[in-house]
Every structure is written in structure tokens, then in C-alpha cells.
């Protein structure tokens, strides 16, 4: 990447006023983690875990938290900020503007736009895109190459479909929704009625509604409702390869980490966090702000504020204790055997 | 959705003859679950679990099972049917015909059809579709926008590739097969021979055969065989994000729930059910009608009619009992410690 | 498939000189496993597990390992080789050349190539492909139908993007890299800073670098780095539906089986093997040559040469032993109860 920031530019971007240490550090040409940084790099202390890497870091400028007490090396400068990770983000946002300039509005000639589709003149429609009958593309929306918008689907203002993202018939996206490549919104729910040994499809006539400010990762699939709607609450962030079945409702500001799966008709309240590869059964309810540890299997309701882990889930501390005790099972079996010998009783087999 | 059904139309669609309660309920304009229904909605009691929601439901018409004994509210009507979920499906099928009219046969001008491909004149080929050399598209097949059909692949009668579904070279689909968006049929199996530290690809020259009436969910991947074929039996239903490796054979009418994975050369007999996120090892055999609980890990053969769960799997009841005892491990350790004190023997460490 | 190999051709392809048994076996027209082979088929004994199938196999020619002592049937021929699986691969490579002839170089007229893209004249660009501004497509690269190459991305010599593979902006592929359908390289990492209850996107400005000879399976997703790079080491093989988060580094020659997931900033040394559906936490380190059993959950560093399994992981043998002891928990609880009765002490509840 061809970056170049003067120390003064960095100061301004992060909203700080003072440089500590070397007042004339090198021009910044790249960003790197503390351990990999070279002169000319900007780095940051975002996680306590990496504090030990500070004294050896060769970064020219390091963003540090307010309570950090170490001193910069001779050629090095520190910039003290409230939240170094957020501050780095501010610098990166500037870089995003340079590396990913917004394309001009307009429709690429290779795109297919159905006659009855309604595309705002301020939207961008890339090559080989398909916009089907009756679809609506809102102001400043970006529909990148090979994306697909089905019949009567609605894409809200400033929403962004990355290459090959797919929104199927009748589904609705709010404003500022971001769909990564390979996302499928609105495939049919997995519902069958088995009659005399044959699985008959239950028609899936509902839709998917994605509220404002949702982001959805690559190759994630969200099924349309059997009827009514599958709904993703505003501000919820969904990682790659996640499965969300028909009629699921997530609250606002949930976090669903990669490869998690939620079965049909389950409801998540606001601020629920599912770790990676978590599986959630159908028709259950997860209370507000609950956190479910990675790879857990959840098959019953949990109350607001729960912090659980395991398959089936247990309160986090108990799950942790049981994990440790499980490792001591070989010893426990020996101890019981020993007791049986002492007591003079064989196991009652 | 713009729906409108008179009570008489509903009666006719579900094959019932009598309305109980209000003989003149509102015209039906939507479908909703019992708890969310409003006047003008059709609802149904499909699952015993929701029986408690019946007295408070505001639905204008409710489809009820034959043994239901409650009474409708004043404005409300009941229609008694053998299977309310199936009956609702019959109404929904009518809605599907309205919301998803079949497109006219023909090839969209933006599609690429290789000269030697054979596309039936009754098939629909959408925008930006690719049909490669020697591929055959059967009668009344629907190949939606951006779908891909590889060289010498065969798509049977009335099969349906949804937008961005992919069928690679030499693979064969029977009749009435439905592939959802992002499905990949016929990617190469994951097989390598490691020689002097380098993983050499084992060529994967077989194909995938999908029998009649199979449905496959979004972003699921099914690999071609190393040689011979990977085969999905007739009537089998596969959910989203499932992985099926080379040379797997599934029987007829299996159900594979989302994110399940099956390693190479494993065989499933008819009517096997794999829960969500189940992992099945390679080269094993699952007997007819077996059910494997969600998130289980199966690494050995199981007999017909098995009902198993866990990693590694155990008979369902035993797995359940062990889950409960596991939670009592902290107590068990204390009890053994206590016994040791009483008996006067320290653990033999 | 229309294959036809004389026994002499098979001998030559596998580099052997002698036929044992029937010196004039049938012309080979297909390849099949031992148990399914018919006259006219080539088969092989690649796995000790299938030795019992040898006496009943109807294959006309069987590739056998050097130490195999059985005798061919009357009509049958054996060809003795060092590694039957590898030898079969040599025959299959010949078949690949017939079934998958290399397309002629050139750009399909329906492809969109941005003006500033640089496509080598020896590359093949299929229908409906998109090559964005500043992208570079190397010598003899194959970019199949509907594949996407983003702005300033680099595709190295003889690399192969299968239909619908996606390489996003600024990402780089080395030589002979193979991406299967639906792969997404370079989607944005899943990183947010939560400020006053709102998840703010941390810009993801890094790239993905895929070194030489890497193969990546269908619908796998690899996220670009928050800054700097996500890197996949040379010779690494990745199966379908795998998730690799931002800033992950894998060493050379790793094997990542289907549906495995690796969280952000984790580092794998060379020759690490992750089984199917394994989950690896973020910011950890996996030592060289370690093997992690299927479905395991790894949440801490492991040393080189580790062989672990379970959630959380344990050394393989211990995990196995605990799995067995766990099944005996119902008995253990009874034994402790029995001891308590004998000793005359109730559990201290």
C-alpha cells in the first residue's frame, strides 16, 4: 500500500494534541503490530496481552493507552489516547477512503435491470449485476459486480452488496446494511412434513427483514420465514458462514461469530453474543445480553445476562470447573478403586 | 404481501367442510403464528408446545388438530383438520403460485450457452447464466440468474437452480431437484498423497449424482468422487452450509440439517437424520433410519435404527444421563474426598 | 466417462514393468473400489482396511502394494507398485487430461475487464468474469466463468479460479493456487469496537496473501487483515467451508479439513493439521506438525508435535481415556453410593 502520514496528520486523525518522546519521528508508511513493526510504521497497544512487546517494538509511532507508564525508545514517539484500538481505527478510516474510493453512481452496461425495477440515480450498480422485477435500490446504495437482487426486494439507503452477494425475492434491507460476498438472504427455510415416508416441502412464503446498520459476513445464509418474517435487529453484526434458519428473530446489536447456527423460530433479545461454531436449537429464547461460549450447544431458554458454555450449556464457571474435574477422572476412578479395597467391598457388579 | 382469501377459499384449500365458531370470520390477508396473529390473519396449532397460546390468539381463523378441545373466541373461527401444519402448507402452496409465478420458457439474451449445450425449449434460462459445452438442460428446468452448469452436466426435468447455484462438469441431477443459491455440486474432493513433505493432489475424476426430488440448501458443497460417484439418494433433503465429501453415498429420504459434515466414502442408508453441525468421519456406515443428535461426532459404524448423540456418540438415553452426572462431578469429587477422610486413607498419589 | 486403457498403457502410466496373473486382462474402461468393481474396471488396494475385499473383487486389474501376498483370480491381473494410491493417481492424471482439456487462452467476450487491468495473453478468462481496475492476471492463469478478481488483486502464474471464485481488492495469489467455486478471499475481518452500546466497525485495510501451490475448497472464506496481512503458507491445502479470520497466518503444508474455523491473529506453524469442524481461538499459536482431532476446540497455545483432541483439547490418549471413563460415570456414582452405605456416612449435603 502506498500510504504516507506525517506525525501531525496522525495527531489530527486520532484527535490528540501531544507527541511524547521523539518530536520528529519518521513519516508513517504502514501499520503493523508491535512485534512486527519496522521504522516508518505506526503501531498501537490495544490489548494488555501485548504490553511485553512494547520495549522491543521498532514502530516509529505507537498509540498508547492513558495509563501506560513506559518510555519510548530514542527514535520513537508515543501518542497517548483514550482507546488505542479505536484511535487506530480513525487512522484506518482515512486509509479506507484512499484505498476504496466510492465509485461514481450509475449502472454498468453489463448489468441486467428488469424494466419494473426502481434504481435510484445515486446508486452504483456494477458489472453483471441482476436487479429483478419490482426491486427497489435506495439512495447511494452500492451493488457490486455479480450481486443479485430478487423480485420486489428492497435495498435501503447507502446499503452495500459486495460482489456476489444475493438478496432474494421480497426481502428487505434497511439503511447502511453491508452484505459480504456470497451471502444469501432469503433462501427457503428447511421445513418438511413427512407423509408416508416422503418429505413434503412446507412452502416458505415469508421474507427476511434486515434492519439498519447490520453487517453480514461471507457465505452466511439467512432463510426466509415459513410465513411472516425472519428478522435481524438493527446494529447486529454477523460473521462468515453463519446459518440462520426461518423465522429466527435477533434483537438489536447482537454479535454472531463465524460458523454459528440458529435453528428455526428461535428468538434472541438485544446484545446477545454467540461464539464461533455455537449451535442453537429451534423454538427457544435467549435473554438480553447473554453470552454463549464458542462451540456450545444450546437447547433450552436462557435468561437475560446468562454467561454459558458447553454442550449442553452450563453456567460458565461451572462448565470450566467440570472441564478441569473431567481431566481428573482417571485419578478419581483409581481413588474409588482404592477405597473399595480398603473398605473390603468389591464394586457391586 | 397482498393476499386475500375468503373463509370458503381456505376451507376448500385445506379440504375441510365445516367452520366452527364464527361462521363469517374476516377475510384472510396474512398468515401468522398464534402469538403474533392479528384479526385478518390465518394461524394454526401445529405443535403441542404452542397449545397455551390458543386462548389468547387474535387470529381470525385457526387450523386445529382433530383432538383439540378448546373453543374459539367470539370473532374467531376454527377449522379442524388432520394435520394443521400440512393444511397450512396447502394454503401456502396457493400463495406460492401467486408470489412466485413461473417464468416463461426461454433463454435470457445475457446468458452464455455453449454451442454444443442442449437446452430444452421448455426450460427457463435467466440472466448471466452459463451453460457450458455438452451440458443438457431438461424439460421445464429453471436455471435462474448467475447459475452455472458445467461441461457435460445434466439437469433433469423440472429441476430448479436458484440464483448462483453451481453444477460443475459431468455432474447429474435427476428430476425436480432444487438447488438453492450458492450451492456447489462437483467441486474436487479433498484428497492428497504426502510424499517427502509435499501434499500431492489425488486427481478427482468421478462425478456427483443427485437423484430425483432432492433439495439442497444455500452454500452447501458436495464434492465429486475421486472416481466413480458421490451420490445423494432420491427424496433426500439437505439444509444450508452442509459439507459432503467425495464418494459419500446417502440413501433415499435422508435429512441433513444445517452445517453438518460428512467425510469421504461414508455411506448413509435410507432415512438417516443428521442434526445440525453433526460431524461424520470417513469410511463408515450409518444404518437405516438412524438419528444423530445435533453437534454429535460420529466416528464408527452405527446399526439401523440407532438414536445417538455426543462426541463420540453414545445411545441417546445414556448420553443424556451422562450429561446430568457430569454436572454433579464437583459433588462427586467432594464425596470421594469425604470418604477418604472417614476411611482414613489419603488418595494414593 | 469414455475411458479406454490397455494393460500396457496402465503399466506405463504407473511405471511398473510386470503384470502378475492374467497376462491379457480386459481393456480398462472405468475405475472402481474393490467391492464395487466389475470386469473392465481398474481397482487398487490403497488402505489396509480393505484387504478383506481383495479375494472377492471382480476388477480386471488391481494395483497392489509390494508386500501383498494374495493371488489374482483367474481372469484378473495384479500390478505391484510401491504406493497403489499414488499409482492410481498417475492413471487418473491421464484421465484428467482427457476429461478436462485446458481451454485456449483468451478472454470471453462476455467478461468485463477494466481498462487498467493487466491480463497476460496466455491466460484464459471465461464468460461473465469480472477483472477490476489494476488487477494483474499472470501467465497461463485460468479464470473460469463468473469468477471475480477485485481491484489491484494479483493472480500468479498458472493459478486457477474455478467458477464463481472471488478474490477481492489488493489480495495476492502466488503460482499454481487453486480456488474452488464460491471461495471468498479478502472479505473484511470481523472486528468492532463497542462504544456506548453501538458496535463500530474497525476498518480492515490489510490484504490476504496466498502463497504458491495452495488449494482452497468450495465456499471457504478468508478475511483480509485488519492491517498488514492474512497469510496462507505455500503448499497448504484447505477444504470446503473453512473460516479463516483476519490476520491469521498458516505455515507451509498445513491441512485444514472441512468446516474448521480459525479466529483472528492466530498463527499455525508448518505442517499443522486441523480436523473437520475444529475451532481455534484467536491470538494463539500452534506449533509445527501439531494435529488437532475433528470437532476439537482449541483455546490456548500448543507445542510443536502436539496431538490433541476435545473441547477444550487434551493430549489424544488422555482424551480417549476420559471418553471411556465418562461412559462409566453411571457406574462410578453407584459405586460411591455403595461405599457411603458401607462406611455408614451419608454424602455431606
- What are the start-end ranges of the H helices in chain C? 7-14, 84-99, 316-327, 329-343
**Segment A142-158 mean pLDDT:** 98
* Upstream peptide bond of C312 is cis (omega within 30 degrees of 0): yes
Q: Which of C261, C270, C154, C262 is nearest to C207 (CA)?
A: C154
Give the percent of chain C with pLDDT over 70: 98
Q: To the nearest whole angstrom, how far is the Cα of A214 from the nearest Cα of chain B? A: 20
Interface of B with A in 185-244 (CB under 8 A): 215, 217-219, 235, 237, 239-241
> Nearest residue of C to residue B240 by CA position?
C241
CATH number of the domain where residue A90 is located = 3.40.1390.10
C-alpha gyration radius of chain C: 26
| B340·A336 Cβ contact <8 A | no
| B347·A335 Cβ contact <8 A | yes
| C219·A241 Cβ contact <8 A | yes
Helix (H) or strand (E) holding A322: helix A316-327
C-alpha to C-alpha distance for A273 and A264, rounded to whole angstroms:
18
* Together in a domain, B135 and B176: yes
Domain end marker among B54, B80, B99: B99
In a domain, C346, yes or no: no
pLDDT digits (tens, 9 = 90+) for A40-60: 999 999 888 889 999 999 999
Best mutation target among A221, A231, A247, A332 (most B Cβ atoms within 10 Å) is A221
Best mutation target among B112, B171, B220, B263 (most C Cβ atoms within 10 Å) is B112
pLDDT digits (tens, 9 = 90+) for C83-137: 999 899 999 999 999 999 999 999 999 999 999 999 999 999 999 999 999 999 9
pLDDT greater than 90 at residue A287: yes
> Nearest residue of B to residue C96 by CA position?
B205
* Together in a domain, B88 and B138: no
With beta carbons under 8 A apart, name residues in chain A contacting B215.
201
* Together in a domain, A123 and A95: no
Cα angle for residues B314, B316, B321 (degrees, 5° grid): 90
Contact C31, B228 (CB under 8 A): yes
> Nearest residue of B to residue C128 by CA position?
B128
CATH number of the domain where residue A310 is located = 2.160.10.10
| C330·B322 Cβ contact <8 A | yes
C-alpha to C-alpha distance for C94 and C10, rounded to whole angstroms:
10
With beta carbons under 8 A apart, name residues in chain A contacting C192.
237, 255
| C169·A295 Cβ contact <8 A | no
What does the pLDDT read at residue A349?
Answer: 44
C-alpha to C-alpha distance for A289 and A286, rounded to whole angstroms:
9
| Residue B322 near chain C (CB below 8 Å) | yes
Catalytic residue among A246, A253, A285, A338: A246
pLDDT greater than 60 at residue A346: no
Contact B237, B215 (CB under 8 A): yes
Q: To the nearest whole angstrom, how far is the Cα of A33 from the nearest Cα of chain B? A: 31
In a domain, C330, yes or no: no
Residues C282-286: contacts with CB under 8 Å, at least 24 apart: C282/C245, C283/A47, C283/A49
pLDDT digits (tens, 9 = 90+) for C263-292: 999 999 999 999 999 999 999 999 999 999
In a domain, C323, yes or no: no
Domain end marker among B74, B99, B124: B99
Which residues lie across from C268 on neighbouring strands?
C250, C286
**Segment C232-241 mean pLDDT:** 98
* Together in a domain, C202 and C91: no
* Together in a domain, C113 and C95: no
In a domain, A38, yes or no: yes
* Together in a domain, C60 and C127: no
* Together in a domain, A94 and A200: no
| Residue C337 near chain A (CB below 8 Å) | no
| Residue B146 near chain A (CB below 8 Å) | yes
Helix (H) or strand (E) holding C291: strand C291-292
With beta carbons under 8 A apart, name residues in chain B contacting C348.
334-335, 338
What does the pLDDT read at residue A345?
Answer: 56
Partner residue opposite C130 with nearest CB, options A127, A253, A259: A127
Q: Give the number of domains in chain B.
A: 2
Q: Which of A151, A118, A145 is nearest to A132 (CA)?
A: A151
In order along its 349 residues, chain B shows pLDDT tens digits of 567 899 999 999 999 989 999 999 999 999 999 999 999 999 999 888 889 999 999 999 999 999 999 999 999 999 999 999 989 999 999 999 999 999 999 999 999 999 999 999 999 999 999 999 999 999 999 999 999 999 999 999 999 999 999 999 999 999 999 999 999 999 999 999 898 999 999 999 999 999 999 999 999 999 999 989 999 999 999 999 999 999 999 999 999 999 999 999 999 999 999 999 999 999 999 999 999 999 999 999 999 999 999 999 999 999 999 999 999 999 999 999 999 998 875 555 4
* Together in a domain, A93 and A110: no
> Nearest residue of B to residue A344 by CA position?
B343
| B168·C163 Cβ contact <8 A | yes
In a domain, C341, yes or no: no
Q: Could you give the C-alpha distances from A71 to A20, A104, C44, in angstroms and in order?
A: 9, 47, 67
* Together in a domain, B128 and B171: yes
For chain A, the average pLDDT equals 95
| CB count in 10 Å sphere of residue A121 | 8
What does the pLDDT read at residue A343?
Answer: 87
In a domain, C332, yes or no: no
* Together in a domain, C72 and C174: no
What does the pLDDT read at residue C349?
Answer: 44
Contact C266, C287 (CB under 8 A): no
Domain that holds residue B304: 106-318
Beta-carbon contacts of C20 under 8 Å, excluding residues fewer than 6 positions away, are: C72, C77, C78, C79, C80
Beta-carbon contacts of C97 under 8 Å, excluding residues fewer than 6 positions away, are: none
In a domain, A347, yes or no: no
In a domain, B232, yes or no: yes
The angle, 0 to 180 degrees and rounded to 10, between the axes of the packed helices C316-327 and C329-343 is 60
Give the DSSP letter string of A110-137: T-EE-TT-EE-TT-EE-TT-EE-TT-EE
Give the percent of chain A with pLDDT over 90: 91
* Together in a domain, C48 and C32: yes
Domain end marker among B70, B99, B128: B99
Confirm whether B246 is a catalytic residue.
yes
What does the pLDDT read at residue A48?
Answer: 83
* Together in a domain, A110 and A80: no
Q: To the nearest whole angstrom, how far is the Cα of B195 from the nearest Cα of chain A? A: 33
Best mutation target among B153, B279, B337 (most C Cβ atoms within 10 Å) is B279
pLDDT digits (tens, 9 = 90+) for A105-136: 999 999 999 999 999 999 999 999 999 999 99
| C92·B322 Cβ contact <8 A | no
Amino acid at each position: 500500500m502506498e500510504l504516507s502520514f506525517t506525525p501531525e496528520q496522525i495527531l489530527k486523525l486520532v484527535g490528540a494534541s501531544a507527541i511524547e518522546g521523539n518530536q520528529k519521528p519518521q513519516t508513517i508508511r504502514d501499520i503493523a503490530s508491535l512485534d512486527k513493526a519496522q521504522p516508518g510504521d505506526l503501531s498501537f497497544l490495544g490489548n494488555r496481552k501485548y504490553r511485553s512487546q512494547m520495549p522491543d517494538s521498532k514502530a516509529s509511532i505507537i498509540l498508547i493507552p492513558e495509563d501506560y507508564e513506559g518510555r519510548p525508545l530514542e527514535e520513537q514517539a508515543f501518542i497517548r489516547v483514550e482507546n488505542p484500538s479505536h484511535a487506530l481505527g480513525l487512522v484506518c478510516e482515512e486509509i479506507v477512503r484512499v484505498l476504496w474510493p466510492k465509485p461514481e453512481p450509475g449502472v454498468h452496461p453489463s448489468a441486467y435491470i428488469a424494466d419494473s425495477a426502481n434504481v435510484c440515480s445515486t446508486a452504483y450498480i456494477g458489472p453483471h449485476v441482476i436487479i429483478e422485477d419490482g426491486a427497489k435500490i435506495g439512495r447511494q446504495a452500492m451493488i457490486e459486480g455479480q450481486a443479485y437482487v430478487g423480485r420486489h426486494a428492497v435495498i435501503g439507503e447507502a446499503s452495500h452488496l459486495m460482489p456476489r452477494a444475493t438478496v432474494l425475492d421480497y426481502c428487505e434491507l434497511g439503511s447502511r446494511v453491508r452484505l459480504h460476498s456470497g451471502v444469501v438472504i432469503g433462501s427457503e427455510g428447511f421445513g418438511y412434513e413427512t407423509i408416508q415416508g416422503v418429505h413434503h416441502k412446507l412452502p416458505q412464503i415469508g421474507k427476511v427483514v434486515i434492519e439498519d446498520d447490520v453487517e453480514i459476513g461471507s457465505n452466511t445464509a439467512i432463510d426466509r420465514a415459513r410465513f411472516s418474517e425472519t428478522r435481524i435487529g438493527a446494529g447486529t453484526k454477523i460473521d462468515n458462514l453463519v446459518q440462520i434458519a426461518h423465522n429466527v428473530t435477533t434483537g438489536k446489536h447482537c454479535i454472531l461469530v463465524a460458523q454459528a447456527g440458529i435453528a428455526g423460530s428461535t428468538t434472541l433479545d438485544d446484545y446477545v453474543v454467540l461464539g464461533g461454531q455455537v449451535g442453537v436449537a429451534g423454538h427457544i429464547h435467549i435473554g438480553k445480553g447473554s453470552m454463549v461460549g464458542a462451540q456450545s450447544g444450546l437447547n433450552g431458554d436462557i435468561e437475560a445476562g446468562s454467561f454459558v458454555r458447553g454442550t449442553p450449556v452450563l453456567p460458565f464457571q461451572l462448565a470450566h470447573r467440570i472441564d478441569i474435574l473431567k481431566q481428573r477422572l482417571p485419578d478419581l476412578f483409581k481413588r474409588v478403586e482404592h477405597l473399595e479395597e480398603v473398605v473390603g467391598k468389591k464394586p457391586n457388579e
